[in-house]
Structures are given as C-alpha cells and as structure tokens.
Amino acid sequence: MNPASDPGHGHSPAAWTAVIIMVIALSIGTVAFYLALWWIVIAMAVLTVVGWGAGFALAALGWGVNGPKYQPKGH
C-alpha cells in the first residue's frame, strides 16, 4: 500500500473523540431501550449523530489523521 494513501486507521484525537461520544451514547441508549424510556433512546440517537459530526468537525479543524495539529505517536 502506498503510504500517501494510508488513511491512518483513525488514530487521531478527532476519531477518538467521535468514538467515545458514540459509544457512551449507544450504551446509555441501550439501557434506556431495555427500560422503555423512549425519550432517552431518541436523545441518545441524536447524540450518536452529534458524535459522528464532532469527528468530522475536529478533522476539519486539523485534528484528523492528515491535519496539521495531529502529532502521530511512534509505536
């Protein structure tokens, strides 16, 4: 694979922020679904979409894999 086309596998602050928001929202939403608290289920569905948008917004602000503010860590 050409290194220039490597997407970076999402190891960036933008990706981690999006995933953390979405995992928390989906976890709370799952419990709310079990307890039949529909307003919380809908709120967590909206928060999941917000988390997805936050990842794109942070990437656009330079915190994505190819952004100028991202400093890759050596493994």
- Whether 38 is in a domain gets the answer yes
Does the CA dihedral 9-61-24-44 come out positive or negative? negative
- Whether 68 is in a domain gets the answer no
Give the phi and the psi of residue 67 in degrees, each rounded to 5.
Answer: -80, 155
- Whether 41 is in a domain gets the answer yes
* 3-class SS shares of the chain: helix, strand, coil, % to 5: 70, 0, 30
> For 3-61, what is each residue's pLDDT tens digit?
555 555 678 899 999 999 999 999 999 999 999 999 999 999 999 999 999 999 999 99
Domains of the chain: total: 1
- Whether 18 is in a domain gets the answer yes
Q: In this predicted structure, what is the pLDDT of residue 26?
A: 97
- Give SS3 for 11: coil
- Whether 1 is in a domain gets the answer no
Identify the residue whose tokens are 């948008």: 53
38 CB-near residues (< 8 Å, 6+ apart): 32
Range of the domain at 48: 12-63
- Whether 45 is in a domain gets the answer yes
- Whether 29 is in a domain gets the answer yes
